[in-house]
Amino acid sequence: MKKVYPVTSLVTGLFVLSLAALPPAATAGGMRSYRDDANGVKKSGKLRADHRRARNVILFVGDGMGISTVTAARILEGQLRGENGEENLLEFETLPNVALSKTYNTNQQVPDSAGTMTAMMTGEKSKAGVISVDQTVTRGDCASAKGHELLTFLEEAEMVGKSTGVVTTTRLTHATPAATYAHVPERNWEDDHDLPAEAVTNGCKDIARQLIEFPYGNGLEVAMGGGRRNFLPRSEADPEETSKTGERDDNRNLSKEWVSDYPNAAFVWNQAQFDAIDPAKVDHLLGLFNRSHMQYEYDRPNDIAGEPSLAQMTAKSIEILRKNKKGFFLMVEGGRIDHAHHAGNAFRALTDTIEFAKAVKTAREMTDNDDTLIIVTADHSHVFTMGGYPTRGNPILGKVIGNDSSGNPEPGYKLAKDGMPFTTVEYQNGRGFAFLATGGDTHYGVPINTGRVTDLTDIDTEDQGFHQEALVPLSSETHAGEDVAIYSGGPGSRMFHGVQEQTIVYDVMDKAAGINHEFLRKNRE
């Protein structure tokens, strides 16, 4: 039975937003909780008054969208319009309030997405690989997670009667979206086939099942992304990749259960079905547009059945969610920015970042700054670098052309000490150079080729198939550990300033929306 808590018990009165107003540090099992005020950050902030209430909250997460990625995408977007590029701003860079976020996990200096999104959704930092459970949990151990689940902001929003939605270009069960609604000690437990015997014995549920069996409020109103295989049984063929089946062992078709569980519910899996959805008539929408992750934006037009863009999914979500007079919470993830970086393909990382910025623009145009808090951030960065002293306006994906002693562009490429040209953007580690005819992920099927082993003089480094050089040979390029930016506007956004723990995202959403999280956490089942 789903439970909605009385709003009068949950929502505080008018408030003054300041870092000093944030909730006191909590602890997990007596261990340090790594909250902002636990580190004394609040003492450095000035009082920032804002008496507006955030009826709606939209959190945009560019997975792996570090500052170097933002800078390079900004330049590329400008250059695609015929400009030099450096003077451009991505849509979210025009938001008025900016801070830096420290991304480490409690057990890792360089984080993973499960731990970072847990911090943003629950206000508690945790370990790498675990989803919305506290740091005392042993990764992969179901029994250790029992009683250590952390209530998420999405769950809180449902408990006070708001509508909620999750949109991503990854599988809906991937770490970042999963941390909004699920609680597991292992991020890879995406369907029941992934559960080890210990997890089954101790009653842990897979992530896809937790989405469908969500216990709070009216359930999620919108959930869109990829990952059909985790919702379909092995006995059923995928509707798009018909030679393949679902991966569930329990013979449940969770997409059908979604439709039967809710009034005015719909399930869609292709562009035509998505386009046909009338937001006025549909109250619960599940969209699963690929068997695994959705396409990169560049490859989306080639999808077999067609799939919507991130901006289109954002628009449809808002049209459905805003019907609720109590407001809504929506999380939108540009998840494949991260995947392109892991594959060493800057082209797709940057073009997906540009599409992510378009989704932010869509949300800003469809909402009111006076009652909607918009937050744009990343969960972590990547070892993606930009350097070499190129001249102004040099193609960001191109080979470096420098300036001469007079400050004018040189006639040819700048050469390294090995006599070969080099690109402006590169990776510190990863699989290294490749030039492939098809998408970024095909890089995993060719040998690792790191270091300066290929003369790039006659290679088109701006082509979609070019994979940048890398220094340290690894099977996959890694995350980076530096701070990431937070951009924000709307009620409560002025609390974002300075250098903060990543938990500040939860704290600001919670405070701006006026949700009494302490009451909720004490009184949930």
**Residues noted as catalytic:** 113
Which residue in 154, 120, 125 sits closest to 496, CA to CA? 120
- Measured between alpha carbons, how far is 277 from 268 in angstroms, rounded to an integer? 9
Which residue in 64, 61, 88 sits closest to 74, CA to CA? 88
Between CA 411 and CA 419, with CA 413 as vertex, the angle to 5 degrees is 125
The DSSP element (H or E) to which 122 belongs, if any, is helix 113-122
Q: Hey, how many other C-beta atoms are within 10 angstroms of the C-beta on 349? A: 30
Please spell the DSSP secondary structure of 34-60, one letter per residue: --TGGGTGGGGPPP-------SEEEEE
Q: Where are the beta strands (DSSP E) in 340-473?
A: 372-378, 381-382, 384-386, 425-430, 434-435, 466-467, 470-473
- Measured between alpha carbons, how far is 118 from 127 in angstroms, rounded to an integer? 9
SS3 state of residue 182: coil
CB 424 within 8 A of CB 75: no
SS3 state of residue 179: helix
Q: Hey, how many other C-beta atoms are within 10 angstroms of the C-beta on 455? A: 11
CB 498 within 8 A of CB 46: no
- Measured between alpha carbons, how far is 139 from 504 in angstroms, rounded to an integer? 24
Between CA 343 and CA 346, with CA 344 as vertex, the angle to 5 degrees is 115
Say which amino acid occupies 88: N
Between CA 415 and CA 427, with CA 421 as vertex, the angle to 5 degrees is 115
CB 397 within 8 A of CB 462: yes
